[in-house]
A and B are shown apart, each in its own frame.
Chain A
Amino acid sequence: KQEVTQIPAALSVPEGENLVLNCSFTDSAIYNLQWFRQDPGKGLTSLLLIQSSQREQTSGRLNASLDKSSGRSTLYIAASQPGDSATYLCAVANSGYSTLTFGKGTMLLVSP
C-alpha cells in the first residue's frame, strides 16, 4: 500500500526566502507525482505534474524534482511571497486511473 509523507507539516518564513518542501513515498513504482496547492476552505489547484520518466518540472518560481529510486520529491519555491501562503499537497499515482494517494500536506505561511 502506497504511503506518502510530507515534511515539514508546517513552515513559517519571511518574504523573499527560498524554500524546499519534501515529499516521500514508499512504493517507487509510480505512474506520476503531482503537487497541489490548497487555500483554506477551497479546492486543490494543480501546480506541477511529473511523469515517472521525468526528473523535474518547472513553472515560474516553482521547481519540482523526482527521484523514484529513493522515493522522494521536492518542491522548491524561489523568492517566496505572502501570496504563496497555503497548504501544499503531494500526491502519487500508481496507475493512470486517477487514484491518487495524498500526503497530509505542508502548511506554509510567508510573512511580509
Chain B
Amino acid sequence: KAGVTQTPRYLIKTRGQQVTLSCSPISGHRSVSWYQQTPGQGLQFLFEYFSETQRNKGNFPGRFSGRQFSNSRSEMNVSTLELGDSALYLCASSIQGVELFFGEGSRLTVL
C-alpha cells in the first residue's frame, strides 16, 4: 500500500516568489492536513481538508493557502515568499482525521 507522496521533495525559491506543493494521500484517505516544521518553532499546524472542504486552519497569514481535489489530492500554496518561510512542509493523511500518516515532506529554501 503506497504511502503519502509529496512533490517536489526539495525546492529553492527567492523572496517574493510563490510556490505550490503537492500531496497525494494514502488511497482511501479523505482527510489531508499540512504542517510546517522549522528548527525554532517545531511542527505547526497549517490547515486540514476533508472531502474538498477546509475543516480547520492554523494561525498562519493569508499568504498560505490550500485546496483539495475530488480525488483527495491536495496542494498548498505560499505567495510572496519570505525568508522565514524556509521550512520542511509535511503533509499527512488519515481516514477520518484520527490517526495521521505523514509523507517525507517538501523542503523549501527561500533565498
Contacts and interface: CB of A to CB of B under 8 A. Distances in A.
Chain A contact surface mostly = strand
Contacts of B75: none
Contact of A98 (B6, B44, B97): B97
Contact of A43 (B42, B94, B97, B104): B104
Given A97-B56, A99-B33, A46 B99 contact: yes
A31 B99 CA distance: 11
B78 interface: no
A5 to B, nearest CB: 11
A29 B96 CA distance: 19
Contact of A42 (B45, B98, B100, B104): B104
Nearest to B99: A49
Size bracket, chain B contacts = 20 to 34
Contacts of B94: 98
A102 interface: yes
The CB with the most chain B CB atoms within 10 A, among A32, A45, A99, A105, is that of A99
Given A31-B98, A100-B100, 4 more contacts: A44-B102, A97-B50, A99-B56, A102-B44
A77 B42 CA distance: 23
A42 to B, nearest CB: 6
Interface of B: 4, 6, 31, 33, 35, 42-45, 48, 50, 55-56, 58, 90, 92, 94, 96-105, 107
Contact of B43 (A31, A89, A96): A89
B100 A46 contact: yes
Contact of B42 (A41, A46, A93, A104): A104
A31 B101 CA distance: 17
17 contacts: A32-B99, A34-B100, A36-B102, A44-B90, A44-B92, A44-B102, A96-B96, A98-B55, A98-B56, A98-B92, A98-B94, A98-B100, A99-B45, A101-B45, A102-B35, A103-B42, A105-B42
B102 A46 contact: yes
Contacts of A36: 102
B90 A43 contact: yes
